[in-house]
Amino acid sequence: MLMLQTAAILFAIAALGGLTMAGIRFARGHNPPAWLAMGHGLLAASGLTLLLYALCTSPVPQLAMAALALFLLAAMGGAVMSLAYKWRQRLLPAWLVIAHAIAAVVAFVLLGVAAFA
């Protein structure tokens, strides 16, 4: 459970960066700075790696497996935003930012229930 809880904390910190980036995208109408996107991705990838390690090495609730699947979906959305839009200096599409956020929030709730319930 400690690994799941630590992964949840890493995702919570990454979520703060995600909220900041969404605020920049929607309030200012331009992409967030690269350093913020990279930090967000690094923290989320760390949480994802720890969650995957926990799933491979110890028995965990089924909700944690569902959270992993949704976090992987969110990670794919983040990679698309980074490589197809930010890298080419194109404005991130609002629908993709929102879809990425929804997948991550649902995954975070599932992980939170699995780790702290």
For residues 19, 106, 92, 31, the Cα torsion angle rounded to the nearest 10 degrees is 10
The percent helix, strand, coil of the chain (3-state, each to 5) is: 85, 0, 15
pLDDT on residue 50: 97
pLDDT on residue 28: 95
pLDDT on residue 17: 97
pLDDT on residue 86: 85
| Residues of the chain under the 50 pLDDT cut | none
* Alpha-carbon span 50 to 20, nearest angstrom: 24
Domain map (residue ranges) of the chain: 2-116
Q: Rounded to two decimals, what is the model's pTM? A: 0.92
Question: CB of 21 within 8 A of CB of 92?
Answer: no
